[in-house]
Structure 1
Amino acid sequence: MAAQSGDGEKDGAKFVEFIDVEKMYGSFHAVRRLNLDIRRGEFLTFLGPSGSGKTTTLNMLAGFERPSEGMIRLDGQPVERMPPYERNIGMVFQNYALFPHMSVADNVAFPLSVRKIPKSEIGPRVVRALEMVKLAQFKDRKPTQLSGGQQQRVALARALVYEPTLVLMDEPLGALDKKLREHMQIELKQLHEMLGVTVVYVTHDQSEALTMSDRVAIFESGEIAQIGSPDQLYNDPATAFVASFIGENNALDGTVERVNGDECAVMLPDGLKVIAKAVGPLPQGAPVQLAIRPEQIKLAAEVNGHDNRIGATVDGCIYHGDHQRLLARLANGQILTVKIRPEASMAMGEPVDLAWSTGDCRAFPMGTAISGGH
């Protein structure tokens, strides 16, 4: 499966290039024939489940791993045989990797010291880096005297203090609680926009990827299944795997009854028909997976002109503040999740008609199972 560069360019310059890159560990194919361009100044996220190849790809870019085949270029120069310390790359890890016996200021100064920066320059640069992450007042504290979020800011300041051209982040917020993680996502994005540095970010958290990224590359089994802007991946997934990994989805299995251009009629097991957008080759009689997001399903009584209508019974309602999640049981026993108004009143067992537009429902060739998302 070939990767594409996709949209979402910054200044249009290819800053990082992976050219036919492969990585083998014995007989295990960790990364398969990767071709990827990273634009100068963009925030690109590698997203995927464990073992999908995203961290291995990041480590090859950092220099911690060497490709089995292929070439990696950084600003036009081949780097696959260049040691990490010569690549001018900043790294931020999940575990912070701070020196506990050193002060915050000394931790941040460390990359400058090992690069033999004159002492007269180190102090001002450390102060500037700590001011960027709003920690200048804590420069004399030890890491153990800081909260998890503050420690992560120190790690970020240390990665930025020597003004690298590229910053790599491997699950940097994974150890933080939900509220702090969401706050740090905003801070990281603002810092990226302020500095204009190129960031490559690894996560398995799809909401984090959607929140922060200019583009997202979704990894599956050592390949990039799709790359694009967050809204492209959410609204126009190219495969069933991408549809399942980005956001929530309802899944329905069926068989293609007929195809008309980019639309197809799908017969569900209970005899109901659904019109969907066809994604990929879908010959008549082929088994397919349908994907429809909870917010795209409407109560039929509240809308007009939707192509698909299906009967169900209320199996439950879950209150979420700004909306409710209606659990609607179909005749075949399958339950669809539907987002409805918070004030809507639905009783258990009540019949309900659901509706959605053809363009909001996608039919994929039968393959990777669609789940409810993450």
Structure 2
Amino acid sequence: MSARQAALPAAAATIAPATQADPVGKGFVEFADVEKSYDGRTFAVTRMNLTVARGEFLTLLGPSGSGKTTTLNMLAGFERPTHGTITLEGQPVDRLPPYQRNIGMVFQNYALFPHMTVEENVGFPLSVREVGKADIASRVASALDMVRLRQFGDRRPTQLSGGQQQRVALARALVFKPSLVLMDEPLGALDKKLREHMQLEIKQIHTMLGVTIVYVTHDQSEALTMSDRVAVFNNGGIVQLGSPDDLYNAPQSSFVASFIGENNTLEGVVDRVSGAECRVRLNGGGELTALAIGVAQGAPCHVAIRPERLTLTPTAAGGNALPATVDGRIYLGDHLRLLARLASDQVLTVKVGPESTMANGETVTVSCASNDCRAFPADAGSGGAIPKQGKTK
């Protein structure tokens, strides 16, 4: 065990919130029919029903304008819902001010006080709660040990790197033993390498403390790396909620398939549906058998296929097989991405091993198993707020 791993449990024991069983049939956090409108005509969040379990790491993921940040702000108390109820540990909080909710908050821009030292910043939530000075000193020291910044306690935020400032913000959010921690794109201002490092830091602290975290991001790789579950937002609501594995391998809409990870999309028309599968006539020629996800015979559809699920062979291999020409090679160290141009002129991305010798201009066959293809109804799937349907509440 490393020194870092050995130090974390001791700090965690000092600042961890008390753990209690949730009331029978209740979630730790619950949104019940929550909606938010700023003008009474369009809704930034509509028909929100969501339950968060105690100790869960839940990520709200979606494009700009999808409603994820508005949802977080309503939970934090920065916005009030237009309709519906939000409960925390079984108690309604949608009309409580933020300071009465016992919630820790970590922002993208850190929100540290520049005139205070690191220790004073971390101790600020305790001082406003009128905690004794000796207790503040002890808990601040434990929190800084947890994020490995004890030696920087007397520095100002401007004397720290971006990653160090974000760790200070995390320590400040945890030091007063909140029942819930909210994080609003906290790693968005960091470079790629530091962002990936901080993802592991936050996840390890979550595991050590068992604290409940609701995390907002538009970065799908971040969501897959850190979360127990991910709520994918679009058009002001949740379009799919599940584990990272469920979202990646079993998306329930073309939007989720394209938003989570890399994806190839082929357009076509459903020729027939047989049980769980359907046969699709592709626009521009060719046919595929795919899993049928809510499609109807004769209707237009989108067929989604992950790049790593496609294979390239010199000759036809039967099943789902489409003739193509190698149109490009992208070297990425541990793998290659080959661009395969179909007869319809559409280009598919195929992930293969770095040892592949297929060259530009080579005639190949692109193939895949039917259960690696998912056919969805064709739809626009745009983001942003949507008009409220039904009667005005």
Q: Which residue of 1 aligns with 2:46?
A: 32
Per the alignment, do residues 302 and 187 of structure 1 end up closer, same or farther by CA in structure 2, a change over 3 Å counting? farther
Q: Deviations over 1:222-242 (max 9, x none)?
A: 110000000000000011111
More moved, 270-279 vs 199-208: 270-279
Partner of 1:335: 347
- Taking the aligned partners of 1:24 and 1:353, their CA distance within structure 2 comes to 51
**Deviation, structure 1 residue 368:** 3.2
Identity among equivalent positions (%) equals 67
Name 1:363's counterpart in structure 2. 375
1:290 aligns with 2:267: no
Q: 1:275-310 CA distances to partner (integer Å, 9 max, x unpaired)?
A: 000001x22210000100100001235997x73111
Residue 235 of structure 2 is aligned to residue 221 of structure 1: yes
Structure 2 counterparts to residues 1-374 of structure 1, below 5 A: 14-26=27-39, 27-280=41-294, 282-300=295-313, 307-368=319-380
Q: Structure 1 CA distance, aligned partners of 2:184 and 2:75?
A: 12
CA–CA distance in structure 1, aligned partners of residues 271 and 162 of structure 2: 55
Distance 2:147 2:315 in 1: 48
Moved over 3 A (4+): 10-13, 300-304
- C-alpha distance in 2, partners of 1:307/1:194? 48
Report the secondary structure of 1:158's partner residue.
Answer: helix
CA positional deviation for 1:346? 1.8
Q: Name the CA shift for 1:47/1:142 in 2 (closer, same or farther; >3 Å).
A: same
**Distance change (3 Å), C-alpha of 1:132 and 1:226:** same
Q: 2: distance between equivalents of 1:303 and 1:102?
A: 68
Letter in 2 for 1:299: L
Secondary structure of the equivalent of 2:351?
strand
For 1:180, what is the secondary structure of its paired residue? helix
Cα separation, 2, equivalents of 1:269 and 1:61: 45
Is the partner of 1:91 in helix, strand or coil?
strand
- Deviation per CA, 1:203-257: give whole Å up to 9, x if none: 0000000000000000001110000000000000011111111001001000011
List per-residue Cα deviations over 1:162-217 (Å, max 9, x = no partner). Answer: 01010000000000000000000000000000000000000000000000000000
The amino acid that maps onto 2:100 is E
Structure 2 unaligned blocks of 5 or more: 1-20, 383-393
Tell whether the 8 Å contact from 2:315 to 2:364 is kept in structure 1 after alignment.
no
Amino acid at match of 1:60: M
Q: Deviations over 1:138-173 (max 9, x none)?
A: 000111110000000000000000010100000000
| Aligned equivalents of 1:224, 1:245: Cα separation in 2 | 13
Question: How far apart in 2 are the matches of 1:221 and 1:269?
Answer: 28
- Corresponding residue pairs, total: 359
Match of 1:7 in 2: none
Compared CA separation, residues 109 and 273, structure 1 to 2 (3 A)? same
**Paired position in structure 2 for 1:5:** none
- C-alpha separation in 1, matches of 2:206 and 2:348: 39
Q: Normalising by the residue count of structure 1, what TM-score does the alignment of the two structures yield? A: 0.94
Distance 1:302 1:340 in 2: 17
- Which stretches in structure 1 are left out of the alignment for 5+ residues? 1-9
Distance 2:320 2:71 in 1: 42
The Cα shift of 1:334 comes to 0.3
C-alpha distance 167-225 of structure 1, shift in aligned 2 (>3 A): same
The answer to which of 295-304 and 60-69 deviates more is: 295-304
Contact 1:300 1:309 in 2 (8 A): no
CA distance in 1, matches of 2:319, 2:370: 6
CA separation in 1, counterparts of 2:103 and 2:27? 16
Shift of 1:269: 1.9
C-alpha deviation, 1:118, in angstroms:
1.2
Report deviation, 1:13: 5.9
Following superposition, the deviation at residue 369 of structure 1 comes to 6.1
